[in-house]
A = this chain, B = another copy of it.
Amino acid sequence: MATLDLSPISDVFRHQGYNGASLSMIAEAVGLKRASLYHRFPGGKQEMAEAVLADVREYFLINVVGPLHSNESPADRLIQAIDGIRIFYRDGRKSCLIDVLSLGEPAALFRPYISELIAAWTDAMTVVSRDSGHTEVRARQLAEESLIRIQGALVVSRSMMASDVFTRVLDSLPDHLLA
């Protein structure tokens, strides 16, 4: 059986975007020939991207959204979630699929997946912020703001090749999000 490891494919999409990610790159990344990819993904490139998105979704539910909903203290929950985020983005060295897959005409194919991902993430941050003492409305504002800062930090640190920008934003999250 040996279900294929999706993270090399994820890396290609995150680094190249959807259009920029060629099947040759993907095949080389997973150690298969181009044709063999169609055994694992009969739906072709689009199915590969969808599989990667599902994989990312699972990671986020387990390592970010899950911790944010636990019954520990808001501060502890947020610390765990931040760790999950930091690891996922490799300290800001890896781009975000939300960013990268929302470009060009292929974006339409993934909008539903991406919207759901953003919603789950924002909701979870809203919960931990509210639990720390903020009103529901304020908590939602702060959660949205946090998502924006994370995405912005990823763009800026990538375009300047300075990953400390991302690290700094992550470290400041508790102060921004919690009462």
Beyond A19-B20, A102-B158, A151-B156, list 15 extra A-B contacts (CB 8 Å).
A17-B104, A20-B104, A98-B155, A99-B99, A102-B155, A102-B159, A111-B159, A114-B159, A115-B160, A118-B160, A148-B153, A148-B155, A149-B152, A150-B152, A152-B153
The 0/1 profile, CB within 8 Å of B marked 1, for residues 106-146 of chain A is 01000100110010000000000000000000000000110
Indicate whether A95 reaches chain B with its CB closer than 8 angstroms: yes
Indicate whether A6 reaches chain B with its CB closer than 8 angstroms: no
Q: A17-B19, A19-B20, A103-B15 are in contact. Are A147 and B158 (CB under 8 A)?
A: no
Q: What residues of B have a CB within 8 angstroms of the CB of A158 in the complex?
A: 102
Q: Number of copies of this chain in the oligomer? A: 2
Which single residue of chain B is at the shortest CB-CB distance from A152?
Answer: B152
Which single residue of chain B is at the shortest CB-CB distance from A15?
Answer: B104
Q: A20-B17, A104-B16, A148-B169 are in contact. Are A155 and B156 (CB under 8 A)?
A: no
Indicate whether A173 reaches chain B with its CB closer than 8 angstroms: no
List of 9 A-B pairs having minimum Cβ-Cβ separation, nearest first: A152-B152, A19-B20, A148-B152, A102-B159, A151-B152, A151-B155, A20-B104, A16-B104, A99-B155
Q: What residues of B have a CB within 8 angstroms of the CB of A103 in the complex?
A: 15-17, 20, 95, 100
Q: What residues of B have a CB within 8 angstroms of the CB of A159 in the complex?
A: 98-99, 102, 107, 111, 114-115, 118
